[in-house]
Amino acid sequence: MSNYPDDCYYTKDHEWIRVTGDTGRVGITHYAQESLGDVVYVDLPKVGESYQSGDPFGSVESVKAVSELFIPVSGEIVEINGQLADAPELVNSSPYDEGWMVTVKFSNTGELDSLLSSTEYEDFIKEGKL
Amino acid sequence: MSEQLKLTALGETHRALGGKMVDFAGWEMPVQYTGLIPEHMAVRTAAGLFDVSHMGEIEVRGRDALRLMQLITCNDVAKLADRQIHYSGLMTEQGTFVDDILVHRLHVEHFFCCVNASNVDKDFAWFQQHAAGLEVEVLNSSSAYSQLALQGPKAVQILQTLTDFDLSTLKYYWCQPEIEFFGVKVFLTRTGYTGEDGFELYFAPEHTVAIWEGLMRAGKSEGLIPAGLGARNTLRLEAKMALYGHEIDDTTTPLEADLGWICKLSKGEFLGSDVLNRQKAEGLKRKLVGFEVDDRVPVRDGYPIRHNGQDLGTVTSGSPSPFLKKNIGLAYFPIELTEIGTAFHVLVRGREVPAHVVPTPFYKRAKG
């Protein structure tokens, strides 16, 4: 599998969103989990909270540091991944599947247009590495 | 424009090993290579090799060397034998820390001090200022040495394959000048900042790559891996070793920092000894304690502490403990709240997280 699946949209803050109907599942990218190292804690919002795109909605912690999570699109949190409380390491081992963080119900589907495709995101992190 | 970061002789080596480089006290240093947790665990169970060449070295020579050392540090330097080492505090006139240092007595007229990278210039000026009128020469020899730390239960085995010198005769906190490794003269000390057995090697910087690579080769079969400053910090925290700028600084005394064992008030007058004597006689108002968090969320340096709605200051160092798999930390508490088991809260992103005072060190190695 690619490190950057092409059924997701990406942000420059290293989140992905995978869209189904009017909701999207959100997590952090392979690049982000690798840079963080072993994830030991994930702080997630409560179901029902609403955010504007780009708002911090939680945080992810390695032994060394805390990193904020930013929501890719505006909307309401309709689901959180409760498994991460007991198994935060899923963010490292399965960033696009079992390590997902929240499901957000969009308030504005048009916002997806401003996100990056997998190839655009891959180019973006390659540039950053130069 | 920020100042140019200093590089140790291993800058290229760290990058080639995949080291993630960060700014530490003006030096570009590796915070981790493969990952903080595996590096931490390697030091607890096998061995890790650290580049600590950013550390400073200050040497004191001359007839009054002992006198100067006794005046400016709080431990009793007269108790050291030749080649013996102790941990000490470089004191202000208020009995607080200019720095925490390792004092190596080479002989009665030559002391070698290992000091924090961030404090070298300040320390050197302090040594010089108090050397005025004494028959003593103070030398900042920081750029004359690279320093590597080989730490962990396998450190002695690994190093023994590289020398005929019987390392079992070099006890903890003793040193041996001029042992040859890979044809290079090394000042070898049995010291470290990890809570494990281990060695620190000081030598001329031009040999750094050869010695690093030689040690890595010799230790590979024993599980030796390179370890970064991230693991160094979690290792020292588990062992409750103070970090300057966190647990100790020029507002804290050794007594408050629970370092009474390096504070030898019986040795006679030294900088700040009047303050420390008074503090001892009157009793401490606050003391450094260790705590465990009763929650999965880690607490970090600077997080606020509350007890019954009252602010108690902030966490001096806090982190997940990779070995104990708990969230731990250190903080100053009013003396009446320092009892083991005292419950309180740490404020994490606006949430009150429960924690309680525990005995320290958090981790202590089994003596072999």
CB B113 within 8 A of CB B59: yes
Ordered structural domains, chain B, with CATH: 6-53+145-238 (3.30.1360.120), 56-142 (3.30.70.1400), 285-358 (2.40.30.110)
With contacts defined as CB-CB under 8 Å, which chain B residues touch A43?
Answer: 297, 349
Q: Which residue type occupies B338?
A: T
Collect all residues with Cβ–Cβ distance below 8 Å to B242 and sequence separation of at least 6. B100, B248, B257, B259, B288
Residue A87 C-alpha, separation from nearest chain B C-alpha, in angstroms: 11
CB < 8 Å from B in window 87-106 of A: none
Q: Which helix (H) or strand (E) holds B149?
A: strand B146-151
Candidates B35, B37, B349; nearest CB to A43? B349
B173/A69 Cα distance (integer angstroms):
46
Dihedral sign for Cα atoms in the order B29, B32, B33, B39: positive
Is pLDDT at B300 greater than 70 in this prediction? Answer: yes
- pLDDT tens for A78-99 read 999 999 999 999 999 999 999 9
- pLDDT tens for B159-174 read 999 999 999 999 999 9
Mean pLDDT computed over B58-85: 98
A122/A104 Cα distance (integer angstroms):
24
Is pLDDT at A130 greater than 80 in this prediction? Answer: no
pLDDT of B21 reads: 93
CB B324 within 8 A of CB B202: no
Is pLDDT at B2 greater than 90 in this prediction? Answer: no
Nearest Cα neighbor of B7 from B26, B32, B35, B20 is B26
CB A55 within 8 A of CB A45: no
Q: Which residue type occupies B8?
A: T
Is pLDDT at B230 greater than 80 in this prediction? Answer: yes
Candidates B31, B297, B349; nearest CB to A64? B31
Mean pLDDT of chain A: 94
Give SS3 for B279.
Answer: helix
pLDDT of A95 reads: 97
Mean pLDDT computed over B200-224: 98
Collect all residues with Cβ–Cβ distance below 8 Å to B36 and sequence separation of at least 6. A37, A38, A62, A63, A64, B228, B230, B231, B234, B322
Ordered structural domains, chain A, with CATH: 9-108 (2.40.50.100)
User: Is A63's CB within 8 Å of B297's CB?
Assistant: no
- pLDDT tens for B318-350 read 999 999 999 999 999 999 999 999 999 999 999
pLDDT of A127 reads: 84
pLDDT of B1 reads: 40
Query: CB contacts < 8 Å between A and B, how many?
Result: 37
Residue A90 C-alpha, separation from nearest chain B C-alpha, in angstroms: 16
Is pLDDT at B23 greater than 90 in this prediction? Answer: yes
- pLDDT tens for A55-81 read 999 999 999 999 999 999 999 999 999
User: Is A63's CB within 8 Å of B300's CB?
Assistant: no
SS percent in chain A: helix, strand, coil, step 5: 25, 35, 40
Enumerate the β-bridge partners of residue B166.
none
**Tokens 């590289």 found at:** B162
Strands, sheet with B20-24, edge to edge from the N-terminal-most edge strand:
B6-7, B27-32, B20-24
CB B205 within 8 A of CB B211: no
pLDDT of B326 reads: 97
